[in-house]
A and B are shown apart, each in its own frame.
Chain A
């Protein structure tokens, strides 16, 4: 073995945790590598083509199983694997959507061996590798559904981030945009709300490193949050996997009941350095701004002219309205990305950088700019040992526009016209109300975020049957959120400032070991996995308000006469767990998996100790059986899974506490904090999932159907105590039971496939039934003004309030009190995707999405309508006003119109309830046309493509507010459209070049 063996033995001593003494006890894997290492090496090369179209296929994994030799095909389908020891190998070509192929090849020292693959489509890829809590497994082994957004989809999707990627591409996932502000984070809910009190954010892994999956603190003026998940640039993402329910997330432990999103970033590949440069230019433009009945677009589209009148005809002038007569602008955006990837025999690398700058649709206000660097290095010092270091750093500055339920909110004031809080400006004629909404833009509303993710993964496979992987990860988020109302600001002339510093650091340690065995000549196999995880979450928030500046200028906190520390929270929680799982397989077609996880969490009460979450799943590839004689039906896999996962209560929820406060002009005092509950434990979600995956007609049709039933037991419910007992807050108790059931289906199909055209389609459909089965007899108020409550027998959450019983009658409204009005969040989703490749060079891709069954309060309508500042009500209000002279004026005004258009002090009292509306919508989420330029057209390049694309191009909805997927109640189970800026359209043109 010579020198190499000695060096590597030393390495083993360093890596004592995995291989102490192993080299002497068994035939060393080092023997296997040391011998060929002294030989001269050979090269494997070839091309992968589509079996039908004969076109070269990019991004196909070409590798020699059980070795580290492998690469990805380039855009013309060609590949080269250098440094392969002489010998005979099986080479595998694999790409999701295509049937995996293997070919045998002999590599001769110093020679190049050629092997070509012609892959045929496969609607169901049973041999595709997916990543589970125990490592990679073939899809055929998995007993639960899993949704992937593949690299091919990502390439054509005009998406900025993961949340964009998931819209319309993951059945069972609800992704709502929340606001039309650049930089805002979306809400992601997988299979409904399984928790009332502990949040429903999925947990997120990036290259095996757990990152913070929630949102930053809200900006106090924008009332919106960013999502650190979006800091990962879409151009760096290789694929995304979504694991939706407790049956699949058991081994991820406490906190995983909201599902798991796994993001895999791009890696290097063996070969010369390949650079990719991408430049995108575009524009954001306003789309739908409320209903067509409002010619002014809530006075955003036109802020001057004859329509600047109240419903009783009183004119107003906004003296700060831009010269264009509109608050809208075409917001420019630019985005650049540069990456290089490559590698040699034992090293691969992918390094990238990106920068983007995007402006919103309101003139000279709102935008986000930032960039990042990421690096992904792989190193295989010896056969069987794989080291991988992934690091990403992102910085982003966002300018927010005041928004939502906020007296300084831009839409609140502009859309109220004459009723703006910024009245009193000079420059208007007598009798004309003079407003100055432009003064809102005197404010500074910014956030500066830094996000650092790093992870080191060490995988050691001392033999074909055993593997060990240890991952240490660190996710570090820092954000400074700042709001300044300057000296002289109309609504607070002395000026004030809020500064919020937020830090969230997550440290994770994971170990997974696997041991596989086969018996009876391979007909019976076993894969046993064991492992553990330690996860530490360190959260820090410091908020300081400062008031009364001495004079003009750019202030700091010390510029103010008074300062108030409003929040200083330093919370550290640790979760640790161990798991084991056995997957037994019969004839590689029937797989039974049994596993469990033992979890401890610092927040559990003394009586709970460790928690055990079990799982069982079954996968049966029935189409591999001999009796399966339907040639047209190539693949049929049946799935069943049941498993549990949990959500932990907050740290110290078990303890009775008092909160320090100040009183009597700065003297220290206490006030009741939390009642405390020493019996507190995690809530536990148990999910049953059954489904099948089928592939038919030569891969032209694929069907994936799942039914799930999730019961959350011991649900953590915020229970109130009688206020007369002094503690006004709620106390978590394990008293509830929630139920979510649903149906998810995905159908992939070839529409037309012949030389020169490859047209595919996909339809996703999902439903959700949600019910609070048991709340310990109480009702939970989520948001009174959002009319959002949780009641036994109704969805989590539901909308309750006054229900109009005679909406279409020409009469005054008749209300049914305390009525269930409907689901808050959508209950049905339809995702439509089609892609057409023409003449091998043009690819057209479109994604549309329908979200049905949800409801929301259009608070804009309520607030503006009652003031006489809601155009759709002008006609009805004119009739109401003329009643004194024309008693029949209201004869053709329906009860719904009378309810919605009721004026302050009028006969019919205005009420929010009249504005609870269906939020059903269909949106064209994205359309892209990509053209691959002929090779050689651009000298010095390998490939080049241009793309034109659009996002959110079209919306169809009966909702009368500004946008049906907005939310002013971020961080709450409720949602409400309360002067939130509507989402906008984006038009993009990009160039991508590799060289």
Chain B
């Protein structure tokens, strides 16, 4: 009896499984296998991915960096910014920034290696290749400007200037390939990026040489859009909808007539000053990025002119520097400024750079390098405050090369 029954059960089970084709299938559509990217048709999307991850890094840097660099004052309740507001930038608080920047850098540099492998001899002539190098260059520039130490691919902590050197190499490659492709836009982006990192490396001659070649009206942006929430610049939620950040109590709170620093006071229906998210801080709302689709500049011709101005000041050429500064002001339809001494000119230059680059995630680096100086460019804002971003907590915990 039992033997017959067992046979029956086995037969029944077999029939059941055979009749339900696909019952054992397992599916998870959506994610893409790593190996599937090793095809030429995947290369455009690979480069767009680099751009998207770079934009994410720019967004985080511009928002958090606005607190580090006095572009914004903290007026909210979110955890990490509350700590930043006290001048403290701790490993445990900056993992999102560290992750975004490292991902942008790794995706671009790893992607370039994948492109070389997949495209072979066609790599250099491929139209997207200069863009890939630009993404790698700008990601390294952001790392170098903000981080205390650079870390690459699970390696040890290195001087942050290593990131600038790496960026310079990427920009140089981008410039060479964009020139070969006769792509002026990308060529200017490479020149502008290289000028930025050359100033950071102290190569002012090289920086001026590159900067001079970039038109004043040129700008190269990190791409943002309202297409998907991931593509947004992130400013809308924390500055427009919710007052996590305010212009009140910053170096710009008294600047009301400069188109580079657009902000408004938020008022109650009775006309009184409205408080921001923490309920106690006046809410001055930035108006530079009116929605999440607004682009954030990675490099601008106006900055190039100011690089030339700063280079002139470093050579003691106050007149030349002021001419460059006023070239930028004229471009923005602002009246000219005057200075006759280095002591007068340096604050003007620092202010003009701050206004020109407001909320673009650049001020912290400027304050950091000017704070480290001993000459007339000395800036004291960061005295008593953390002056760079430490290695992220996750990196410290997981990277065996970080003691």
Contact = CB atoms under 8 A, between A and B. Distances in A.
Interface of A: 16-22, 25-26, 407, 416, 418-419, 421, 423-426, 428, 430, 433-434, 462-463, 466, 468, 470, 491-492, 507, 509, 511, 513, 515, 532, 534, 536, 545, 547, 562, 564-566, 568-574, 576, 602, 651-652, 655-674, 676, 719-728, 778-779, 784-785, 863, 866-869, 904-905, 909
B28 A571 contact: yes
B375 interface: no
A602 B26 contact: yes
A672 B103 contact: yes
Contacts of B86: 909
A430 B272 CA distance: 9
Interface residues of B, number: 81
Interface stretch (B32-40, B308-316, B344-352): B32-40
A984 to B, nearest CB: 28
A726 B106 contact: yes
B379 interface: no
B1 A462 contact: yes
Contacts of A536: 23
B51 A723 contact: no
Contacts of B50: 669
Given A509-B16, A669-B46, A904-B278, A664 B154 contact: no
A779 B92 CA distance: 13
A574 B24 contact: yes
B196 interface: no
B259 interface: no
A722 B55 CA distance: 21
B13 A17 contact: yes
Interface stretch (B170-178, B354-362, B392-400): B392-400
B201 interface: no
Nearest to B78: A785
B28 A570 contact: yes
B45 A668 contact: yes
Nearest to A905: B280
A664 B1 contact: no
B52 A658 contact: no
Given A652-B31, A723-B95, A784 B399 contact: no
Contacts of B242: 407, 421, 491
A655 B11 CA distance: 36
Interface in B43-67: 44-53, 55
Contact of A721 (B51, B227, B398): B398
B376 interface: no
A25 B277 CA distance: 82
Contact of B1 (A25, A416, A674, A720): A25
Contact of B241 (A492, A666, A674, A725): A492
A515 B30 contact: no
A670 B16 CA distance: 41
A725 B106 contact: yes
Given A511-B9, A668-B45, A723-B95, A26 B31 contact: no
B279 A724 contact: no
19 contacts: A19-B5, A21-B8, A407-B242, A423-B274, A491-B241, A570-B29, A656-B34, A657-B31, A660-B30, A664-B52, A669-B52, A671-B52, A671-B103, A723-B102, A724-B105, A724-B153, A724-B154, A727-B103, A784-B92
A568 to B, nearest CB: 7
Given A428-B270, A657-B34, A725-B106, A466 B241 contact: no
Given A663-B51, A664-B51, A434 B270 contact: yes
A131 B308 CA distance: 83
Contacts of B42: 670
A416 B44 CA distance: 49
B98 interface: yes
Contacts of B47: 669
Contacts of A728: 99, 102-103
Contacts of B44: 667-668
Interface in B173-230: 223, 225-230
Contacts of A22: 1, 4-5, 8
A606 B102 CA distance: 31
A430 B86 CA distance: 34
A572 B4 contact: no
B110 interface: yes
Contacts of A568: 30
Contacts of A434: 268-270
Contacts of A515: 2
A676 B27 CA distance: 16
Contact of A657 (B16, B32, B107, B153): B32
Interface in B302-332: none
B46 A466 contact: no
B102 A20 contact: no
B19 to A, nearest CB: 12
Contact of B155 (A547, A565, A661, A724): A724
A545 B228 CA distance: 9
B275 interface: yes
B52 A662 contact: yes
Given A20-B7, A22-B1, A661 B268 contact: no
Contacts of B395: 722-724
A267 to B, nearest CB: 26
A221 to B, nearest CB: 15
A529 B278 CA distance: 65
A726 B226 CA distance: 25
State the 7 A-B residue pairs at the shortest beta-carbon distance, nearest first: A17-B12, A663-B52, A419-B279, A726-B106, A669-B48, A669-B49, A657-B31
A568 B53 CA distance: 21
B52 A661 contact: yes
